[in-house]
Amino acid sequence: MDDILELSHVNKSFKGFALDDVSFSLKKGYIMGFIGPNGAGKSTTIRCIMDLVHIDSGDVRLFGESFKNNIKALKQRIGFVYDQDVFFEELTVEKNKRVIAPFYERWDDDIFYRYIKEFDVPLDKKVKALSKGTKMKFALAVALSHHAELIIMDEPTSGLDPVFRKELLDVLLDVIQDENKAIFFSTHITTDLEKVADYITFILDGKILFSKEMEDLSEAYLLVKGPRSAESEIKAAHPISIKETSLGFEALMEGKEARELADQSNLHLERPNLDEIMYYLVKSNGINR
């Protein structure tokens, strides 16, 4: 059993939005980033994995077992950080910990206090008095303190300053040194993913557009750049999407097709970053944002 997380043909409909046949998997030892524009379905997918939203059809397997059988026991093995306030606002950090810890069979105070110290979270402050970033640090400390094998986080780096974001990414890289663990997190900060993610899964309008290894991604798509005179040549090669720039034209293409085109012309090829891949794929799917 190498897959720690596996979604197969998951469907969930709300009025006006649906997760449509969502399938992807994550093996132990790896970090997967989950990206997509606002409203694409990232939080909904994460909530489906945690069974906070009940799926209409399909299956979610955690540690090789269908979550339908035993979500409660399986959740013991997951460290979960999500984008809503989950703590008792009127209680201090220390008192919140006392409430939360007994829910986890493998809670480890030593690890908890180590992270609290490392992240500089004040134990004696009420949660309502913590900044957004400090609450996130506390949530992260909780998620890391019960020997979870799978860490799932919904936008953990939003609201964090660059210094702590870097620290958080270092913590994730440290956690993943244990090859029996895996990390799955959504984010809009794609530069964070470029630093740590092994896999990227991209959701758009409730559908998975791709779930690929980071290395394959930089081969899968290329940016083709050319002067104004190259417009018809680029368009004839069926780019995924094209845009006019101050210097001419720029298009995202499938890697193989882009190389073939560049071989027959003097168009310039560049590796796109994740933001550029997202931008062109969103544009090609006709979604205006």
Ligand X SMILES: Nc1ncnc2c1ncn2[C@@H]1O[C@H](COP(=O)(O)OP(=O)(O)OP(=O)(O)O)[C@@H](O)[C@H]1O
Strands 248-254 and 221-227: antiparallel
Judged by CB under 6 A, the stretch of 4-12, 34-42, 88-96, 209-217 that binds ligand X is 34-42
User: Total number of residues binding ligand X (CB under 6 A)?
Assistant: 10
Q: How far is the CB of 207 from ligand X (least distance, A)?
A: 12
Among 41, 79, 239, 272, binds ligand X (CB under 6 A): 41
Q: Which is nearer to ligand X, 52 or 99 (CB)?
A: 52
Q: Which is nearer to ligand X, 38 or 177 (CB)?
A: 38
Among 6, 10, 31, 36, binds ligand X (CB under 6 A): 36
Q: Which is nearer to ligand X, 52 or 247 (CB)?
A: 52
Q: Which is nearer to ligand X, 47 or 283 (CB)?
A: 47
Among 44, 134, 157, 211, binds ligand X (CB under 6 A): 44
- DSSP readout, 14-26? ETTEEEEEEEEEE
38 is a contact residue toward ligand X (CB under 6 A): yes
50 is a contact residue toward ligand X (CB under 6 A): no
- DSSP readout, 34-68? EE--TTSSHHHHHHHHTTSS--SEEEEEETTEEHH
In 3-state terms, what secondary structure has residue 210? strand
Q: Which is nearer to ligand X, 82 or 199 (CB)?
A: 82
Among 14, 103, 120, 235, binds ligand X (CB under 6 A): 14
Q: Which DSSP symbol is given to 187?
A: -
Matching residue, tokens 């998951």: 10
Q: Which is nearer to ligand X, 14 or 103 (CB)?
A: 14
The count of residues in the chain is 289
39 is a contact residue toward ligand X (CB under 6 A): yes
From residue 8, alpha-carbon distances to 22, 58, 203, 217 in Å are 6, 6, 15, 22
43 is a contact residue toward ligand X (CB under 6 A): yes
d(CA 53, CA 27): 23
Beta bridge partners of 225: 250, 268
158: nearest Cα among 47, 75, 283, 38: 38
40 is a contact residue toward ligand X (CB under 6 A): yes
Positions touching ligand X (CB under 6 A) are 14, 17, 36, 38-44
